[in-house]
Every structure is written in C-alpha cells, then in structure tokens.
Amino acid sequence: MPRTPMSLLSPADQARLRGLRLMKAVALGALLVMAVIFVVAFALEDRYPWLGYVRAAAEGGMVGALADWFAVTALFRHPLGIPIPHTAIIPRRKDEIGRTLGEFVETNFLDSAVVREKLLSTRIAEKAGEWLRVSEHAESVAAEAATMATGVLRALSDDEVQDLISDLAREHLLDPEWGPTVGGWLDRVVTADAHRDAVDLGVDSIATWLHGNREAFSGLVSRRLPSWVPSVAMRLVDDTVYHEAITFIEAVQKDADHPARRAVDAYLRRLADNLQHDPATIGRLEEAKSAVFDSPRVRELATDAWNTAKSGLLRSLDDPESGLRRRLTEALIEIGSRLHADPALQRRVDDRITDAAVFLVGRYRHDIASIITDTVEKWDPAETTEKIELMVGRDLQYIRLNGTVVGALAGLAIYAIAHAVL
C-alpha cells in the first residue's frame, strides 16, 4: 500500500488510492468468503455428501486467490515481508525497467518512419491555418508573443546590449574606410544620372530663395564701392547683381546641359574618383568621420539607440491597440488564411515540419529516450513502487478476483471429474 500521506497526493492520485483500497478489500473479502464456505462445507461434508462439491470449489477458490495475491504482491514488495527470490520485482529491477521502457519508446515511438507517417497524417498546416485565421486566436498568439518578447527585453542587460551595439557599430560601420565605398556609390549615381533630381532640387531651392530675398542683395556690392559713388549708381549695381543672379539661376533651371550643371557633374566625378583612389581625400574623410564619431559619442549613440528602441518596443508590445500588435495580428490572420486555403502551401509547410522533426528525432532520439531512463533511475525504489501501484494496482486486484473465481471453478471441475471417474 502507498505510504505517502493522502494530504501529499494529488487529487487524481487520491482517487486512485481510494479505488485501490476498495478493490483490495473486495479481493480480500472474496478470499474470506471462500474460507468461510470451506470451513462450513468441510464440517458438514460427512452429514451432507453433496457439500463435497462446495468444499472443493471453496478450496480451489482459496488456492487461486492466495496464488494470485502472491503474484500481484510479488510485483511490488516481498509477500509478508519474507525475502522470497523473484519477489519485489519492481523496486529491485527499477533501473532495468526504466532502461527497457526507454529502449521501447526509442525503438517504437521515436522511429523516423513512425514520426513521418504520424506528422503527415496529422495535417498540421491545415489545422493550424484553420485555427489561426480566427481573429480571437490570432490575437491570443500575438498577445503571447508580445508577452514573451517583453520578458526577453526586460531580461536583457542594458549595459551589455549597449556595448554590443557600440562594438558592432565600430566593427562594421566606423572601422572600415568610408572613402572607397562612398566613392564607388557616388560614381554609380553620377554614371546613372541619378543625381539629376538632387541637382534640380538644389537649383529650384536657390531660385525660390532668390525670389523671396531681394533685400539680401541691398548693399551686397555697393558697400564695397568708394563713398563718392552716387547712391543711385550703388542701387543700380546691387539691382544688376540681383537680376544677374536671377537670370543665371533661371538659365540653369531651363538648360539641362548648362555649363554649371556640367561643372557639378565634373566635380562629382572627380570627388568620386578621389574618394576611391586619392589617399589625401580618403584621409580627410576618415578624419571627419573620427571627429564626428569619437569613442564617447559612439557609446552615447548606442545608449540612445537602445533606450529609444527598447522603450518604443515595450510601449507597442504592452498596448493591444498599438500598430505593432495590430500588424502582428493581421499578419497571423493572413498566414492562417493562406495555410487554410492553399493546399500547395500546406504540403510545403507539412513537409518542412516533418523533415525537421524527423531530423531531430533521428539525431536526438537516444537523448530523448534517455530522459525516461535517467528519470526512473533518480526515483526512490519505494516511491517508484507507490507510483506504479497507484497507476495499475486497482486493475491488478481484478486478477485476484478472477483467480478466486477460476480457482473455484477449477476445484469444482477437478473434484467432479475425480468423483465421477474414481
């Protein structure tokens, strides 16, 4: 009988224990009934010869009940505490049972063919799609994903992440020379005339500024003239300069092949070539880069980037109505709808899942099965016996009942045959 107090057992185990005790009482009661019948029949057999049949049946029932009691008890402990050989099988051979069970699971359940057949017949993708396309389910998955992501973000060390961002920025962004890369990019832009729109935007911006800032030319040139020059002449000079600037910029706007545009193109080509091949130009760019991104500033940028990204993500993850959560839910619904409606996609997903599972099972099935072996080895023998007896002990008591009935019938049959023949 399990020795663990009822209060320490789970509700399911408590129910099993009550059922086990009830069946043990029933089996014991059947044995006692047979014993009483045997005593009565044995005492009155001389007076009533027909009680010989009853005595034989009761005798056979007692023998069967005792034999099966011994067999059932021998599985879990020594009968009557006597260390009879080949008894207390489960506690004595616990580790071997665990290894055998692990080998059985590994051979029969973790076989690649079995896993592949089961997964393909399950139609995982179709069922997952059917479930996921329901908005409530998609929202639940999104909420769980947000909870997990929030937990991960809060668990991360800010200093370590900032150090990582700083190291990555320095290794992949700051340490490499920018000149050749920027020069190559600029050369491709100029060759493809992709810079034209930028030049047009610059020219238009200058023209807009000139038209709106006439007063900026007042005194621009005239203040440099001698004082004896008449004021009318000074204003005429300023107006001439302003109008020439307007005329020039309008000409640049209208003429796609204006000399100023060609000069800009030539300058950009020279700059692209110098950035790629001129050590002096490359050095000046590296100096400028170092001045902008010195070590303390890189650390500050990494800190600001991480803090901003983290706080923004946490707010979005915590808010069910945030754009991130809504887009995640919509994406899950769309995935579910496609999985539900597209048989070809279902087959591809099922094949990928099956291949991955078969690979993992084939590679790690011994390790998976060893969980059973290692767990059983760690169990205390008495505790193992209690666990197994609670699980199957109630059903084993039926063996005792069956032994009582079969023994009684066998005893009656033997006695009847012997009486008839002899």
Q: Which pairs count as long-range contacts for 342-348, CB under 8 Å and 24+ apart, including other chains?
A: 345/125, 346/123, 346/125, 346/126, 346/129, 347/125
Which of the four pLDDT bands, split at 50, 70 and 90, describes residue 145? very high
Query: Cα angle at 282 between 277 and 283, to 5 degrees?
Result: 135
Check if the beta carbon of residue 266 is closer than 8 Å to that of residue 258: no
* Residue 100 within any structural domain of the chain: no
Domain boundary among 264, 289, 314: 314
Joined together, the tokens standing for residue 262 give 């060609």
* Residue 203 within any structural domain of the chain: yes
Is residue 112 scored above 70 in pLDDT?
yes
Contacts of 28 (CB under 8 A, 6+ apart): none
Domain boundary among 283, 299, 314: 314
* Residue 21 within any structural domain of the chain: yes
Residues 285 and 402 in one domain: no
pLDDT at 84: 84
The CA R_g of the chain, rounded to the nearest whole Å, is 46
pLDDT at 224: 66
Task: Look up the domain containing 291 and give its range.
Answer: 158-314
Tens of pLDDT, residues 39-84: 999 999 888 888 999 999 999 999 999 999 998 888 888 888 888 8
Q: How many domains does the chain have?
A: 2
Residues 80 and 210 in one domain: no
Residues 194 and 48 in one domain: no
* Residue 395 within any structural domain of the chain: yes
Joined together, the tokens standing for residue 237 give 């000079």
Average pLDDT taken over every residue of the chain: 85
CA distance to 74, 272, 273, 417, per residue, from 196 (Å): 95, 16, 19, 117
Tens of pLDDT, residues 315-355: 998 888 888 889 999 999 999 999 888 999 999 999 999 99
Check if the beta carbon of residue 298 is closer than 8 Å to that of residue 161: no
Tens of pLDDT, residues 151-199: 988 888 888 887 787 777 777 777 788 888 888 988 898 888 888 889 8
HSE, CB side, 13 Å, CA atoms: give it for residue 351: 6
